[in-house]
Structure 1
Amino acid sequence: MPRLSKVDRHRALGLLQEGLPISEVSLRMNLNRTTIFRLRQRLHKTNTVSDRPRSGRPKCTTQRQDRNLVRNHLNNRFLSASASSRQTRRRNYQRISANTVRRRLSISGLRARRPYIGPILIQRHRYQRRLWAQEHAARDGIHWRSVVFSDESRFCINHADGRVRVWRRSGERLR
C-alpha cells in the first residue's frame, strides 16, 4: 500500500462512512482501489489506520549522539565526516562509519558543499558595480570584441579533488 498521510487516510475513511463505494473514493482521491480496500480492511482488523512497525536494522547511534554530531558540525563547519566518525563511538565503543555521519547530517538538512570563495559584497559594492555596468553598457561592439570572458572549471574523474567542504543548510552560503 502506498504511503498515505494521516489526513488522506481519514479523508478516505470519511468518504467510505458517507456510503460511497470504494471505486468512487479511489477516483476522487486518485488512488488505486486496492489501497482504499486495504485501508478499510486494516481499520476493521486493528481499529487503527496507522502504519504497523516495520522490521529493520536498529540505528547504531542514539538520538543524543545524532544531535551532538549535528551540533559539532554546526560549530565547526569544515569538520569532515571521516574525522567526526573517528571521534564518535557507538554504545559498544566501536567507531561509526563516515557514511553514517553523512546520513545523520543529511537527515538534519546539512550538506557538504564547496565553501564560498570571493568577496562579500556589501550594499556600497553592489551600487558601484551597477554604476560600472551602466557606464560600460553603452559601449560599442568594437570595444567588446577585444574583451575575453573566461570561465574555469575543474573536472576530477577517478579520485577525490582535495577541496575542503563546508557543512551547511540550503540558503546558508554567505553566512
Structure 2
Amino acid sequence: MPRLNEGCRNRAIGRLEAGESQSSAARHFNVRQSTIPRLWQRYKLHNSTRDRPRTGRPRVTTPAQKRFIRVLHLRNRTISAANTANNVPGLRRVSAQIIRNRLRQHGIRPMRPFTAASPSSCTSAMKQNRSTMDPCTGGGSGLVMSGGSCCIYRRRNEHYTRHCIRR
C-alpha cells in the first residue's frame, strides 16, 4: 500500500468533510480502510494532517552521495569500498561499511570475476600453478579478499557482462 503524502492526506480530509464515506475515500487513495479513520481522528485531535516526528538515526549519506557511490562502483567494478570511502565528497566521513551497505541496497555485491580462457591457453593453464592463475596477481587494481582471491562488484545475474570478466 502506498503511503499518503501531505497533499493526499489533505484531499482525503476534504472528501470526508464533503460527506464522502471513509471506505470510498480509502478506495480512491488506494490505502487500507483503517488508514482513513485514523487520519480523520488525528485531524480532529490536532487539527493537522502533518506527519508526526519519528525516532531513528539520521542517514549519514545524502542522496547525491549514494548516487556517487553507485555510479563509481558501476564504472569501476574493481575499486574497493575503503578506497571509495576516502573519495566520497561531503562534510562527514563515510566508512567502508556504509559504502558496502549502500551498494547492497542497490543490489551490487562483491563477487569473484569470471575468468575467460582462450582455447589455446587452456592446455597451458592446466600446467600452470593455481596461484599463477589468480586474475588479481596478473596486475590490475582488483579488490583482494581475505583469502587472497580477487573480487569485483556486480549486480545479480551479471556473470558474463564485459565488466565482470577477466581475460
Q: TM-score, normalised by structure 1?
A: 0.47
More relative contact order in 1 or in 2 (CA 8 Å, sep 6+)?
1
Between structure 1 and structure 2, the one with the greater Rg is 1
